[in-house]
Amino acid sequence: MVVLSQPIPLDNHISVIPTYKPVPVLTSQIIPVVDLTHPEAKTRIVKACEDFGFFKVVNHGVRPELMTRLEQEAMGFFALPQSHKNRAGPPEPYGYGNKRIGPNGDVGWIEYILLNANPQLSSPKTSAVFHQTPQIFRESVEEYMEELKKVSCKVLEMVAEGLGIEARDTLSKMVRDEKSDSCLRLNHYPTTEEEEEEEKKVKLGFGEHTDPQIISVLRSNNTSGLQICVKDGSWVAVPPDHSSFFINVGDALQVMTNGRFKSVKHRVLADTRKSRVSMIYFGGPPLSEKIAPLPCLVPKQEDWLYNEFTWSQYKSSAYKSKLGDYRLGRFEKQ
Ligand code: GA4
């Protein structure tokens, strides 16, 4: 296992990352836990997607060894000298990023790698990541993406069944498609070198946002930091659990369910005394896929809350936005 002896210096040009007083947030017993092997799983998933847009899954079938292997390989990359990591950045959007998130000025106490699951959409920066890492890194990434695609599709099929949609692959086929625009994000929220004052021990790791895709599947090490925003607007801290996955409803699924499911607003407030590593698989549709409320759920177009758009249109619009923007606004029907 790679053990970091030194905290990693991040990009020195960016000094102002907001710090937080560790204010009490609700630590949740309320986050739904779904056992994927339970006969009632599909009903529970639908309820969780309606109530929170978020839930934890257990009995997911992914080998713990693969999860820890990828985490260790990611730590190995993040432990490389800064100059080596920089050869795989800045991200465009794939590749290595440090403190800067997206192209529009968002920053956070984070370094990360973003990799596209579709090799046809990968970039020179993706190749540069693999160039800086041993063969086992790439193998672990590829194996992990395959497994996480299966988890995403399994959950989406349960969603379809739970919603009473006749063709159970209505949603999953978009993620299973060989042209699916899915991606994997490996995040590292480092510790700090300096002795921080008490109220500065928590930094904004990843600002509040919703995920644009259909579904996101997150796994982290046992360090806290993830928070979700619940219906009354309060923030709830999600207790970490390195053996489970956390599922987020994304914007595209909100649209396809005509707002019945809400894409969950979430953020990471990083505790700078213990590093956090998370790995998120974003299940997205092919770029040419038309996204609109599903006619089997909402037959009359006049009841649609959103205009139809392609995933490619939504993605380009997302990359013109700031992290915290409400991206679906411009696709809502007047
Ligand atoms: C949020 C979800 C995923 O991490 C991501 C992010 C993307 C990026 O980091 O490149 C975005 C962000 C995310 C939404 C708005 C735009 C695009 C940064 C940003 C400011 C990979 C994604 O698909 O959208």
Token pair recorded at residue 160: 């379809």
**Among 19-23, 100-104, 169-173, 308-312, which stretch is predicted with the lowest mean pLDDT?**
19-23
- Atom number of ligand 1 nearest to Cα 210: 1
pLDDT digits (tens, 9 = 90+) for 66-84: 999 999 999 999 999 999 9
Nearest Cα neighbor of 48 from 37, 33, 69, 67 is 33
**For residue 14, what pLDDT is reported?**
65
pLDDT confidence band for 20 (50 / 70 / 90) = confident
H-type alpha helices, the chain: 41-51, 64-78, 82-86, 124-131, 135-162, 172-176, 251-256, 311-318
Find tokens 């070198």 and name the residue.
Answer: 193
Contacts 24+ apart (CB under 8 A), 310-316: 311/181, 311/252, 311/284, 311/285, 311/286, 311/287, 312/287, 312/288, 314/212, 314/251, 314/252, 315/181, 315/212, 315/287
pTM here? 0.94
Give the contacts of 47 (CB within 8 A, at least 6 positions apart): 32
Note if 276 is an active site residue. Answer: yes
Pocket test for ligand 1, best of 99, 101, 321 (most atoms within 8 A of CB): 101
CA of 327, closest atom in ligand 1: 15
Q: What is the pLDDT of residue 8?
A: 43
For the segment 175-216, what is each residue's pLDDT rounded down to a tens digit? 999 999 999 999 999 998 777 777 668 899 999 999 999 999
DSSP assignment string, 77-101: HHTS-HHHHHTT-S-SSSEEEEEEE
**253-277 pLDDT tens trace:** 999 999 999 999 999 999 999 999 9
Distance 250 CA to ligand 1 centre (A): 12
Residues above pLDDT 90, as percent of the chain: 85
DSSP summary character for residue 134: -
Q: Please determine, for residue 1, whether its predicted confidence score (pLDDT) is greater than 50.
A: no
Query: Mutation test of ligand 1: which of 92, 115, 185 has the most ligand atoms closer than 8 Å to its C-beta?
Result: 185
Q: What is the pLDDT of residue 199?
A: 67
pLDDT of residue 201: 82
Task: Report CA(266)–ligand 1 centroid distance (Å).
Answer: 13
Mutate to test the pocket of ligand 1, among 118, 208, 211, 317 (most ligand atoms within 8 A of CB): 211
226 closest CA partner among 196, 200, 197, 187: 187
* Average pLDDT value for residue range 20-33: 75
| Domain 19-190+200-320 homologous superfamily, CATH | B-lactam Antibiotic, Isopenicillin N Synthase; Chain (2.60.120.330)
ipTM summary value:
0.99
Q: Which residues line ligand 1 (CB under 6 A)?
A: 93, 101-102, 104, 106, 114, 183, 185, 209, 211-212, 282, 318-319, 321-323
